[in-house]
Amino acid sequence: MGKAGFQFVARRLSSDAMKGNRFLASLAAALVHVGCTQADAAESGIPLADARTAPGEVFPARLSEIRTDCSFPAVQNPPLLDEFSREWYSRHLVAAGEPSLVSIAEAAPVGGMHLRFTWLRSFHPPVVVRVSAMSPGEMEMTAKLLSGAGGYEPGKIAQQVDRTLDPAETRQLQALLESSQLLEEPAETCELGLDGAQWIVEVVEGDSYYFFDRWTPDEGAVRELGLLMLGLTGWPTKSDEIY
C-alpha cells in the first residue's frame, strides 16, 4: 500500500472512528504515526524548464517522477507527490483561484522570488498565502482563507487579503529565509499520520522551483516560514488550531 493508499485508509479509519466504531478507532490509534528513513533528500531544485505545468494543472509533473528514499509497509521509494496528494492539494488551490507558481513567476519580472504556503488542516479552513518579490526590497502578498476544511471539501474563498508588505515585514521574511536555509531542506521528511495538517511550501527562485511537504511539523524551516506567512495575514488563529 503506497502513501496514497495509506492516506486513504487512514482518513477512512479516522472518519469511521469518529462515527463510533471502537475497533476501527483502536486500529486508527495504532496507525497514528508512520515514519521512515530518508538517506538523501529527494531532488530539491527543479529547473523551471522542467517545472512547467500542463493546462489546468497546479503542480509540475516532475514532482510525480521524483522518487523519495522513504520506506513504508509494502512500498519502497514512493513518488514525492503521488496521485492522491496531487489531486487533494490541487483541489484546494484551484478553489482558491491559484494557478501554478511557475506560471506566476514566468509572468512576473525576471529574477524575483515567489513563495506559496498552503495549509491544509483536517478540520479547519484551508489557508493559502503567496508572497512575490516584484522589485528589490518590495514584496506583494495575497492570502486566501477558504470556507471548507483541509481534510474534506475546500469550499469557497471566505476572506482575501492583497497588500504590499511594509519594509519591516520584508526584512523579517528575508532574514528568516536566509537563516533557516529552507532551500537546503529535504523536499519530504517521510512523516505520515492520521488527522493533522499538511504544510506545503513552494518556492521559485532564480531558475529553479522548490517543493516542500510536511505533515504536522513541530519544528524546522517549513514550520517557521508557514507561521511567519500566517502572521502576515493578520487573521487570528488560536493556538489549538495550529497543528
Residue 78: left if φ>0, alpha if ψ -120 to 50, beta else—which one? beta
Q: Residue 93: what pLDDT? A: 98
State how far Cα 142 lies from the chain centre: 16
Task: Please measure the distance between the N-terminal and C-terminal CA atoms of the chain and give it in whole angstroms.
Answer: 26
How do beta strands 46-47 and 33-34 pair?
A: unpaired
Q: Which three cell numbers stand for residue 89?
A: 492539494
Q: Residue 65: what pLDDT? A: 94
Identify whether 28 is part of a domain: no
Around Cβ 65, how many Cβ atoms within 10 Å? Answer: 13
Chain segment 13-47, per-residue pLDDT in tens: 333 333 333 223 333 333 333 344 333 335 569 99
Identify whether 5 is part of a domain: no
- Whether 210 shows a pLDDT value over 90: the answer reads yes
- Whether 228 shows a pLDDT value over 60: the answer reads yes
Chain segment 57-107, per-residue pLDDT in tens: 999 999 999 999 888 777 889 999 999 999 999 999 999 999 999 999 999
Identify whether 25 is part of a domain: no
- Residue-range definition of the domain harbouring residue 144: 33-241
Q: Residue 42: what pLDDT? A: 52
Q: Residue 71: what pLDDT? A: 83
Identify whether 46 is part of a domain: yes
Q: Residue 25: what pLDDT? A: 33
Identify whether 21 is part of a domain: no
Chain segment 126-180, per-residue pLDDT in tens: 999 999 998 888 999 999 999 999 999 999 999 999 999 999 999 999 999 999 9
Q: Residue 26: what pLDDT? A: 30
pLDDT category at 192 given cuts 50, 70, 90 is confident
Identify whether 1 is part of a domain: no
DSSP secondary structure string for all residues of 58-115: SS-GGGGTPBP--EETTEES-BSS-HHHHHHHHHHHHHTT---HHHHHHHSPTT--EE
Identify whether 17 is part of a domain: no
Identify whether 4 is part of a domain: no
Domain count, the chain: 1
Q: Residue 133: what pLDDT? A: 93
Whether the Cβ atoms of residue 68 and residue 40 lie closer than 8 Å to each other: no
